[in-house]
Amino acid sequence: MRRTWLIFSQAVTVAVALLFVVATLKPEWLRSTPGPVMPEVVAISSATPPAPGTSAPAGGGYAAAARVAAPTVVSVVARKGSGARARPNQNPHGEDPWFRFFFRDGPGSQQPQKGLGSAVIVSSTGYLLTNNHVIEDADDIEVQLSDGRQAQARLVGSDPETDVAVLKIDLPNLPAITFGAAEALQVGDIVLAIGNPFGVGQTVTSGIVSALGRNQLGINTFENFIQTDAAINPGNSGGALVDTRGQLVGINTAIFSRSGGSLGIGFAIPSDTARQVMESLIREGQVTRGWIGVEPQNLTPEFIQSFKLPVREGVLISGVLQNGPAGKAGMKPGDVVTKVDARPVANTAQLLGAVAALKPRSDTVIGVQRGDQALELKLTVGQRPKPGQREQ
């Protein structure tokens, strides 16, 4: 009996050893039927499946908005110096930076400077919005549409203080963008930036509205920027910032960058501001703004404490033009402006905007805090001088 048990245990041991070897080296020998196959992990769309009888969309995202807006955005080439367009007998390599480096004093050195930017067609009659810095001092402006057509553009007018310019082209069947409600934008809304960055051709980037009402950036005199993280690069200036319906909410203007490329902080002029400037330029050839003749600066807590002012917000007047509207009304250096035409002002940007919105030769009331006295000064608004002069 003992011998039989010994033989049985040895047989079992050998069988288990053989099973282990087979399972390790030839596991398929042990499968009588195919086992279940684990599915590959794949990304699953969160989109709702199409209803029976309908087909799924060919693509997602914001293709519809891009399709609507992209045809209205054009590339702009602005040439400066040595006449207008490059002459046919000029060296074809004159725009090559390496050619200019080696032959800066030879042929091609007299080539006109060329700037690249973008613009937006806002009227089927041929009016375009762009930035003043895109076309400033240009002798020749040429635009190229997304359908390949080219045209010479005429400068209708420009406003350096908002960095807005209006161009006019004469072509048939022009697409025109629809103005959106920039004032309805909220932080977090999705926007698309369309333009011609680095001259590579029309490009669409997406992002969100990062902030609203950005000012005191030192870019323009009048600042009320939409900030976005949609990539805006050199060449995008003058292009369109659109909402998810493809409607214009801003004109791409500037970037915050240490390298010259996009770092996710771009700025656009709100479309309502650009539209107001455009209408003034088309109608009158200039933008007319109010002016009172003062030098303002932001009110500091130290000044409030030193002079024991009863107000906490306002604009300190550091200088008054003697024969200006404010000077004639009795305003003095050291006064703090708290209201313009019953509209509260808390900083220099708000004062600048409130005064500019007044019509020249109209009467208004300026609220002033002088020490512990609250005064109301009545004055006749003047017309803001051209840029380059120091008056406000």
Q: pLDDT: is 85 or 130 the higher one? A: 130
**328 and 314 assigned to the same domain:** yes
- pLDDT for residue 126 is more than 60: yes
**Tell me: the pLDDT tens digits for 209-262?**
999 988 777 787 888 899 999 988 888 899 999 999 999 999 999 877 666 666
**302 and 326 assigned to the same domain:** yes
Which alpha helices (DSSP H) does 73-130 contain, by range?
97-102
Domain finish residue from 249, 265, 284: 284
- The answer as to whether 72 is a domain residue is no
Judged by phi (left if over 0) then psi (alpha if -120 to 50, else beta), residue 362 lies in beta
Domain hosting 230: range is 182-284
**194 and 257 assigned to the same domain:** yes
**203 and 275 assigned to the same domain:** yes
CA distances from 122 to 25, 116, 169, 240, 312 (A): 74, 20, 11, 10, 43
Question: What is the arithmetic mean of pLDDT over 114-139?
Answer: 91
Burial of 386 (0-12, 13-18, 19+ CB in 10 A): exposed
- Average per-residue pLDDT in the chain? 80
**297 and 245 assigned to the same domain:** no
- The answer as to whether 164 is a domain residue is no
Domain finish residue from 284, 299, 327: 284
Instruction: Give the CATH number, domain containing residue 314.
Output: 2.30.42.10
* Residue type at position 113: Q
**255 and 329 assigned to the same domain:** no
- Which candidate in 133, 210, 271, 280 is catalytic? 133
Residue whose structure tokens are 């891009």: 66
- The answer as to whether 132 is a domain residue is no
**276 and 308 assigned to the same domain:** no
Q: Give the H or E element holding residue 340.
A: strand 336-340
Q: pLDDT: is 172 or 342 the higher one? A: 172
Task: Output the DSSP codes for 248-277.
Answer: EEEEEEEE--SSSS--S-EEEEEHHHHHHH
> In the chain, how many domains are there?
2
Quote the tokens at residue 316.
Answer: 């300190």
- Which candidate in 237, 262, 271, 280 is catalytic? 237
d(CA 152, CA 136): 16
What local confidence, expressed as pLDDT, does residue 392 receive? 46
- The answer as to whether 11 is a domain residue is no
CA neighbor of 365 nearest in space, from 333, 314, 325 = 325
Question: What is the arithmetic mean of pLDDT over 37-58?
Answer: 34
CA neighbor of 177 nearest in space, from 265, 22, 72, 269 = 72
- The answer as to whether 68 is a domain residue is no
Q: Give the H or E element holding residue 228.
A: strand 225-228
Instruction: Give the CATH number, domain containing residue 273.
Output: 2.40.10.10
**Tell me: the pLDDT tens digits for 280-291?**
999 988 888 999
Alpha carbon 377 to its chain's center = 39
**259 and 188 assigned to the same domain:** yes
Quote the tokens at residue 328.
Answer: 């004639």
Domain finish residue from 284, 316, 350: 284
Please answer whether residues 209 and 250 qualify as being in contact, where contact means their C-beta atoms are separated by less than 8 angstroms. Answer: no
**306 and 379 assigned to the same domain:** yes
Which alpha helices (DSSP H) does the chain contain, by range?
2-25, 63-69, 97-102, 132-135, 271-284, 301-306, 325-328, 348-356
**337 and 267 assigned to the same domain:** no
- The answer as to whether 280 is a domain residue is yes
- The answer as to whether 318 is a domain residue is yes
Q: pLDDT: is 295 or 101 the higher one? A: 295
The band of 309, judged by pLDDT with boundaries at 50, 70 and 90, is: confident
- The answer as to whether 141 is a domain residue is no
**315 and 330 assigned to the same domain:** yes
Quote the tokens at residue 167.
Answer: 């161009």
- Which candidate in 163, 229, 243, 335 is catalytic? 163
Question: What is the arithmetic mean of pLDDT over 105-126?
Answer: 73
Is 237 noted as a catalytic residue in this protein? Answer: yes
Strands 150-152 and 140-144: what pairing? antiparallel
**301 and 264 assigned to the same domain:** no
The band of 30, judged by pLDDT with boundaries at 50, 70 and 90, is: low
* Maximum mean pLDDT: which of 74-88, 93-107, 250-264: 250-264
